Structure formats: C-alpha cells, structure tokens
C-alpha cells in the first residue's frame, strides 16, 4: 500500500519535471498515433527500454488538450498495488482537474493494471500507455481488453530521425550532389555503428548501454519469467548476437548450449523477443507446418547493444546492413519472411495472402558474389511471380534486367530515406 500523501508528492514532482527545456526529435510515428487519438480504444506504445516511448508520449501530450500523467517507473511506486488505483485517480484529479485523457508510463509494472484501464475506458476517458514488453499486448490485455486497444511498436531512431538528432536534413537532390552524398554516406556509417538509442547518442557512454542491457535482461527477462538458468540465457544472448542474420534451429542452439531439450531454448528466445532485444524471422511458406519446422533467422534491435555490451556482433558489413534493413521493415510494420530453396533471398514482404516484394542485402555486388546474390533474388521472384526486385548495398546503384525481370540495385541509406 502507498499513502495518499506519498502519491501527492510523486504526482506533483512528475508534473513539474514532465517537460524539460531539452528539445525532442519529432518521432515519425507521431502523426500516425494522433490519427487514432479520437478513437475510443486504448493506445499502447510498446518497445525496448529507453528507445523513446516516453518522449513520444510527451510529444502526444503537447499535441492534445486536457490530460493527466503518471510514470510507474518511479521508485515511489514500488509498494503500489491494484487497489491503490482509486487513490491515484483522486490525486490525479486534484493535480490536473477533471481531464479527458490519461497517460501512463510503464504501467505494466503494476499487477492487474488492465482492470483500472478498462474502467477508465468505460467512463469515456482516453488512455495512452507505454510498456517495454510485448506480452503487455497478448497476456494482460488479451483477456480484459480484447478489441479495445490500438497497439504501436516503437523502435530506436530511424536513419531520418538520426539525421534530425544531429541537425542534418536529407533532400531528394542530395543523392545527386557529390558533397551532400558523401556527407550522407558518412552519417549512415555512423548510424550503422552507433545505432539509434536516443540517450546513448547523447553521451556515447558504453557503461550506460551495458547497464541498460543488464536491466533489460534482468528485469524484463530473468525476473519477469522467473528464469533459473541465468548463465545459460546469457550464453544464449551472446550466441544469438554473434550469429545475426544467420539461420538457426532450436536444436542446434540446444547442442551449442549443452542443454537436454530444445523447448528451453525456444522459451528463452520468446522471452528475449518479448523484451524487444531480438527478433526471429521465419521462412516464407504457404504451409504453416513447414514454416514452423524450418530454420529461422535472428536479428538484434539495435547495433548499440553489440558495440557497447561486447555481444560480439559480427563486423561483417553485409550482416550489419541486413540487420538495419530488417529493423526498418519492422518499423514500417511490414509482414516479413526470408526465402530459401536452391538459393536464398533475405526478405520477402507479404501483403495479404501474397508475396509482394523481394529484397536482397549485401555489402557490395562483386565477382565473388554477384551471380549468387542475383540468382537468389531471381529464384524468389520466379517463385512468387514478381516482375521487380531490390538489392540493397552499401553504395552501389544500377539496374539489372534478367529474363524479363528488373532488379534495382540501391544504397541502403537511400532506401532508408
């Protein structure tokens, strides 16, 4: 239990500290979220810790009238329980008046929070919440708020947001001006190395990233799911990080970790995915059974974790590019798979029941890989009856015609913009 006086103190302090003089990078997702603000459903912003959810929350607040706010990451909320929500509501009304919108940061920390959220919604209040675990959508909200929420996944800065952070802009004509193009390539190389975690970009403090990584692993994985084999899950993280974009099976990881069954590996990877640290990519297949039984590929949320935490992310430029492309596809909410048969195509974009796009990623097309990379994407294009495909590289641009099919070769930084 928490006292009303303690709640008054924490709400007053949070209100006072809410908007600092620090400027925000305008998140690209802001306009899309605001479109849904008049909708009755609860808006949920989820994503990895410290990726900018709270900043986006504040940007929404600055765009709409009549709201109140509480951040449950505050240590004062450690003793807060579900029955304290009525007390909190009284304090919020005291501090902000009778408002129409409630903004809650990291509310998932409070057990049975969804009951209070539903009550607010039933009273006609707009509720916007953030959380750093994907199960916030499935488990807690799946029972009491089915069909009553609109989810948005928040990712670290995109390349365009990264440029905005450093006060740089990219215009369409910049791709054709040598000096501007060289500058964009330099900035993209920095983005690839540093990643897009906002706080890390401010201070370049690797200790900050190490602490963040440990918090994610401990709070969002080990504690949340009561993981007993802590040494194993840490070894699994290192193994996954050193095999970004590579195919794997649960059995192969089981053998590498010296475990007796693959179910533990599957569960641990699901925990890491729920915390948004890693993402699995399935093979494209019209057969659900074949899709489930095929090897998967793994990707890391942001290169800052590999660079700062010693996760042994391969220095292979092609893999780093592929990881950046995958995260951008996730950011754009695309339904993405990989294709593999005789050859391999890195990404297949599905729209409805059909494959709509084929994308291949490599550092450069050269004598050693040109035939293989083109053959892989052509095989996928033939399989899915696509007339046009895309190969993304570090800097190359060209257009390839093969068997009546067009393959556009484009630099990743240009595609990102």
What is the chain's alpha carbon radius of gyration, rounded to the nearest angstrom?
Answer: 23
- pLDDT value at residue 346: 98
Task: Please state the rounded mean pLDDT for residues 5-32.
Answer: 92
CA distances from 129 to 150, 182, 233, 236, 259 (A): 11, 41, 29, 31, 38
* pLDDT one-digit tens code per residue, 395-409: 999 999 998 999 999
Please report which confidence band the pLDDT of residue 292 belongs to, taking 50, 70 and 90 as the band edges: confident
Using the structure block, give the residue that is written with the tokens 């369409």: 172
Query: What DSSP letter does each residue of 190-235 carry, written as one string?
Result: HHHHH-S-HHHHHH--HHHHHHHHHHIIIIIIIITTT-S-HHHHHH
Average pLDDT over residues 227-250: 94
Q: pLDDT per residue over 246-279, tens digit each? A: 999 999 999 999 999 999 999 999 999 999 999 9
Dig out the tokens for 308 from the structure: 């700062």
- Give the pLDDT confidence score for residue 280 in this predicted structure: 98
How far is the C-alpha of 331 from the C-alpha of 44, rounded, in Å? 15
The encoded tokens of residue 131 equal 């959380």
- pLDDT of 1 > 70? The answer is yes
More confident residue, 144 or 374: 374
Residue 139, pLDDT score: 59
How far apart, in Å, are the Cα atoms of 58 and each of 144, 267, 360?
A: 27, 35, 37
The model carries a pTM of: 0.95
CB atoms inside a 10 Å sphere around CB 111: 11
Average pLDDT over residues 205-213: 93
Asked if residue 394 has pLDDT above 60, the reply is yes
Q: Which is it for the CA torsion 373, 375, 376, 380, positive or negative?
A: positive
- Which backbone phi and psi does 388 adopt, to 5 degrees? -135, 140
Tell me, what's the pLDDT at 334? 98
pLDDT recorded at residue 310: 62
Question: What confidence category does residue 172 fall into, taking pLDDT thresholds of 50, 70 and 90?
Answer: confident
Q: Among 331, 394, 344, 333, which residue's Cα sits nearest to residue 157?
A: 331
How buried is residue 33: exposed, middle or buried, by Cβ count under 10 Å (0-12/13-18/19+)? buried
Please tell me the predicted confidence (pLDDT) of residue 20.
Answer: 73
Q: What is the pLDDT of residue 23?
A: 79
Other beta carbons within 10 angstroms of residue 229's beta carbon come to 14
Q: Is 254 helix (H, G, I), strand (E, B) or coil?
A: helix
Of the pLDDT bands very low, low, confident and very high (cuts 50, 70, 90), residue 186 is very high
Report the SS3 class of residue 278: strand
In terms of C-beta distances under 8 Å and separation of at least 24 residues, what long-range contacts does 354-358 make, across chains too? 354/384, 355/284, 355/380, 355/383, 355/384, 355/386, 356/386, 357/386, 357/389, 357/390, 358/384, 358/386, 358/389, 358/390
CB 389 within 8 A of CB 380: yes
pLDDT of residue 142: 62
Helices (H), 281-388: 288-293, 303-309, 317-331, 370-383
Q: What is the DSSP string of 221-232?
A: IIITTT-S-HHH
- SS3 for 77-114 is HHHCCHHHHHHHHHHHHHHHCCCCEEEEECHHHCCCHH
- Give the number of C-alpha atoms closer than 13 A to the C-alpha of residue 307, restricted to the C-beta side: 19
Q: Would you say residue 314 has pLDDT above 70?
A: no
133 vs 336, which has greater pLDDT?
Answer: 336
For residue 69, pLDDT over 90 is answered with yes
Q: Is the pLDDT score of 326 beyond 60? A: yes
Q: Which phi and psi (to 5°) does residue 227 adopt?
A: -75, 125
For the chain, give the mean pLDDT.
Answer: 93
């Amino acid at each position: 239990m928490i006292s009303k006086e303690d709640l008054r103190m924490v709400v007053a302090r949070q209100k006072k500290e809410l908007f600092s003089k620090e400027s925000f990078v305008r998140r690209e997702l802001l306009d899309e979220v605001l479109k849904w603000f008049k909708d009755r459903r609860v808006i949920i912003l989820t994503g990895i810790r410290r990726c900018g959810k709270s900043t986006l929350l504040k940007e929404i607040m600055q765009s709409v009238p009549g709201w109140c706010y509480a951040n449950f990451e505050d240590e004062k909320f450690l003793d807060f329980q579900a029955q304290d929500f009525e007390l909190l509501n009284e304090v919020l009304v005291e501090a902000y008046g009778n408002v129409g919108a409630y903004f809650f940061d990291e509310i998932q920390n409070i057990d049975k929070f969804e009951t209070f959220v539903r009550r607010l919604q039933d009273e006609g209040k707009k509720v916007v919440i953030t959380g750093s675990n994907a199960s916030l959508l499935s488990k807690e909200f799946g029972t009491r708020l089915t069909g009553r929420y609109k989810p948005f996944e928040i990712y670290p800065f995109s390349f365009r947001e990264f440029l905005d952070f450093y006060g740089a802009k990219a215009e369409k004509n910049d791709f054709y001006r040598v000096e501007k193009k060289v500058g964009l390539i330099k900035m993209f190389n920095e983005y690839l190395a540093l990643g897009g975690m906002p706080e890390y970009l401010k201070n370049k403090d690797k200790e900050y990233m190490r602490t963040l990584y440990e918090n994610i692993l401990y709070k969002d994985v080990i504690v949340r799911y009561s993981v007993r084999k802590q040494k194993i899950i840490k070894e699994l993280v290192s193994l996954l990080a050193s095999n970004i974009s590579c195919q794997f099976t649960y059995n192969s990881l089981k053998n590498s970790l010296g475990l007796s069954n693959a179910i533990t590996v599957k569960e641990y990877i699901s925990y890491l995915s729920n915390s948004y640290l890693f993402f699995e990519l399935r093979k494209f297949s019209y057969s659900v059974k074949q899709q489930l039984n095929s090897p998967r590929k793994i990707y890391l949320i942001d290169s800052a974790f590999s660079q700062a935490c010693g996760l042994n992310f391969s220095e292979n430029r092609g893999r780093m590019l592929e990881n950046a492309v995958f995260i951008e596809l996730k950011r754009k909410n695309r339904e993405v798979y990989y294709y593999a048969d005789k050859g391999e195509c890195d990404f297949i974009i599905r729209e409805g029941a059909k494959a709509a796009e084929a994308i291949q990623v490599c550092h450069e097309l050269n004598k050693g890989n040109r035939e293989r990379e083109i053959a892989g994407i052509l095989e996928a294009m033939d399989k899915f009856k696509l007339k046009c495909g895309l190969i993304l590289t570090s800097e190359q641009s060209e257009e390839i015609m093969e068997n009546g099919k067009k393959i556009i070769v484009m630099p990743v930084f240009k595609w990102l913009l």
